[in-house]
Amino acid sequence: MLGELALKRVVRDAGPVLAREMVLLAKRYSGKELLAHGLVNEVVPAEQLRTSAGQYASCLRALKPHVRAGIKERINALSSVFR
């Protein structure tokens, strides 16, 4: 069973209707379905996963730690307005 924090995130990110379906039915979703629901940013073929993740990580590493932390803090603060 999901922990309280994980459940809150599922409800927040997926919405209550989809969260109920995901948790109560333990339904598995394809990458394309999760993309359509806005729960993932990108879907790549398995053979491209390491390359894509490496590129993503490189972009994040290019930011200075204090800049990255500030951006995350501001986005988290703004996202609480929409909860």
Higher pLDDT, 18 or 2: 18
Residue type, 23: V
| Structure-model confidence comparison of residues 83 and 64, the more confident one | 64
In tens, the pLDDT along 26-80 reads 989 999 999 999 999 999 999 999 999 999 999 999 999 999 999 999 988 887 7
Kindly tell me if the per-residue pLDDT of 1 is higher than 90: no
pLDDT at 83: 56
List alpha helices for the chain, DSSP H.
4-14, 16-25, 31-36, 49-62, 65-81
Rounded to whole angstroms, the Cα distance separating 42 from 7 reads: 23
d(CA 21, CA 38): 16
Q: How far apart are CA 67 and CA 22, in angstroms?
A: 35
**Whole-prediction pTM:** 0.69
